[in-house]
Chain A
Amino acid sequence: MIAEQTTTGLLDVELIRKQFPILHQHVNGNPLIYLDNAATSQKPLAVIDAIDDYYERYNSNIHRGAHHLAQLATEAYENARKTVAQHINAEEREINFVRGTTEAVNLVASSYGRKFVGAGDEIIISGLEHHSNIVPWQMLCEEKGAVLKVIPVNEAGEIIFESYLKLLSPKTKIVSIAYISNALGTINPAKEVIAEAHKVGAVVFIDGAQALPHKKVDVKELDCDFLGFSGHKVFASTGIGILYGKAALLEQMPPYMGGGEMIKTVTFEKTTYNELPYKFEAGTPNIEGGIALGAAINFISEIGLHKIEQYEHQLLKYGTEKLLEIEELKIVGTSANKSSVLSFLVKDIHPYDLGVLLNEQGIAIRTGHHCCQPLMDRFGIEGTCRASLAFYNTHHEIDSLAKAIKKAVTILK
């Protein structure tokens, strides 16, 4: 592969792939090519081992027992929180463990939203959003009599910034947008969106689900008020995620769920709540998940997110060129500012058919609306085929993808 040589020095992909046992298998008689990373990522040995180690050596409930195992577990869990905090340049008390991005959005909508949004207020989202970053706001608007405004999207799959500026007003209380679109890969100008929202006094939630696996995210540099992301998309397990919030905002917010861990004292007359971050962490958390997330972040940090970003950019460029060589193939989402997502359609071919025939050739992609029905409506389509790349994917795999699409198209046409 000529293309592979241009990337040596950037990442040793073969070495990286050795860290992901799941990649080394055959599916339907072909080597597995996993290109569904935007749905969920695969797990490196560092993560798998961290989970094993937790259960084999120190499984215990945290923050409670004074015994040895409880101390080890608490320490590991809190270390993971510290790792996440450092990674995104936040304070530890600003890092709340949640189940994932969906819960992060719901937490902010329920707690911050219920307290600070009233009748006639406005919430702005964009036309690119995942259903998780639409529905909780709709629910809040319905409950409060607030209004949901949507930033329109252009043909390239980018938010139209001028339209955003026009939507902003003193009525705007919350702006919530994805840093990176899961369906198209568009990277939104998050920093500019945030700066403009702040001018009218609104707070901003950044859906970082697709950003954290691909680029360095610094909450101070962005100046976002909230950031949510999912562990399973950044090479850790399912059922764990992070809600970052500025401490000053989290302090003002009522708890989201009641229970153990989140309290200081409980009497039947009055309960006082625990301090941050425990205020939002009711009940026994996903301890192994937290530890796995810490391990995953250490893993990608050691490789280096700048290198990952550059490498994936090369892959994206190569993939775009390769796919466009295929007759009647159209890429949906053509922003110059994109992460490694190739959403595409072949004329007169149902995405699902293509997905099935790629699967027969060992290639995992996603087909459908990608939980972005309003965005699909915007393009007048029902769905796309989406190949979403991670840093363990190779140029060779892209070649195989292109070849497999061609083969499928010959059969389908």
Chain B
Amino acid sequence: MTKPISETEDEIVEEFGLFDDQMDKYEYIIDLGKKLNPLDARYMTDDYLVKGCQSKVWLHAYKDGDLVFFEADSNSSITKGIIAILIRVLSGQPAKEIINNPLAFIDRINLRSHLSSQRSNGLTAMIQRIKTYAGAFTE
């Protein structure tokens, strides 16, 4: 049974609630990135780059049964942490769920308010790319 997206979202909101200090939040995000499964080097090419990010983000998706899985890496630790969060929430879900989920947790943890506008655009680009991948798998 896959865990519902909303459940993972609640977990993340709770975890972020533990920190008052912004530096600690960043440390936590960065640690999530460090724990991300490594991305196979063959996917670290321009074809897999997410366009619109200031740092480099490589994103690869594959389908297993009805579920879509994501793997990623970045040359920025903070970006890697952010994509790790997205992967935690969305990887291993049915394509339809991924496409339709509004990802409300992003506002609940106030993620964007701590990102520069460029980073915030980068986050949008990552989400877009994830949804595009999922969309391709529904066809």
Contacts and interface: CB of A to CB of B under 8 A. Distances in A.
A412 B27 CA distance: 8
Interface stretch (A64-72, A81-89, A138-146, A353-361): A353-361
A353 B77 contact: yes
Given A350-B55, A352-B54, A412-B30, A357 B23 contact: yes
Given A352-B54, A352-B55, A411-B30, A28 B22 contact: yes
CB-CB nearest 4 A-B residue pairs? A350-B76, A411-B27, A353-B78, A353-B77
Interface in B24-39: 26-27, 30
A280 to B, nearest CB: 36
Interface of B: 22-23, 26-27, 30, 54-55, 75-79, 116, 119
Interface string A125-140: 0000000000000000
Contacts of B27: 411
Given A353-B30, A356-B78, 16 more contacts: A350-B77, A350-B78, A352-B54, A352-B55, A353-B55, A353-B76, A353-B78, A356-B119, A357-B26, A360-B23, A360-B26, A361-B23, A368-B54, A407-B23, A411-B27, A411-B30
Contact of B75 (A350, A356, A411): A350
A16 interface: no
Nearest to B28: A411
Interface string A333-374: 000000000000000011011001100110000001000000
A277 to B, nearest CB: 39
A411 B76 contact: no
A352 B76 contact: yes
B82 to A, nearest CB: 11
Contacts of B77: 349-350, 353, 412
Nearest to B81: A353
| Binding site secondary structure of chain B | helix
Contacts of A412: 30, 77
Interface of A: 28, 349-350, 352-353, 356-357, 360-361, 368, 407, 411-412
A411 B55 contact: no
Contacts of A353: 30, 55, 76-78
A206 B28 CA distance: 48
A350 B54 CA distance: 10
Contacts of A411: 23, 26-27, 30
B22 A360 contact: yes
Contacts of A28: 22
Contacts of A360: 22-23, 26
Contact of B26 (A349, A352, A356, A368): A356
17 contacts: A349-B77, A350-B55, A350-B75, A350-B76, A350-B79, A352-B54, A353-B55, A353-B76, A353-B77, A353-B78, A356-B26, A356-B116, A356-B119, A357-B26, A360-B26, A411-B26, A411-B30
A28 to B, nearest CB: 6
Nearest to B27: A411
A265 B28 CA distance: 69
B45 to A, nearest CB: 17
Nearest to A411: B27
Q: Which of A350, A357, A360, A368 has the largest number of chain B CB atoms within 10 A?
A: A350
A412 B74 CA distance: 13
A410 to B, nearest CB: 9
Contacts of B116: 356
Contacts of A352: 54-55, 76, 78
Contacts of A368: 54
A154 B109 CA distance: 47
A368 B116 CA distance: 14
A350 to B, nearest CB: 4
A407 B26 CA distance: 12
Contacts of B55: 350, 352-353
A360 B55 CA distance: 19
A28 B26 CA distance: 13
Nearest to B122: A352
B21 to A, nearest CB: 9
Nearest to B22: A360
A361 B26 CA distance: 12
A29 to B, nearest CB: 8
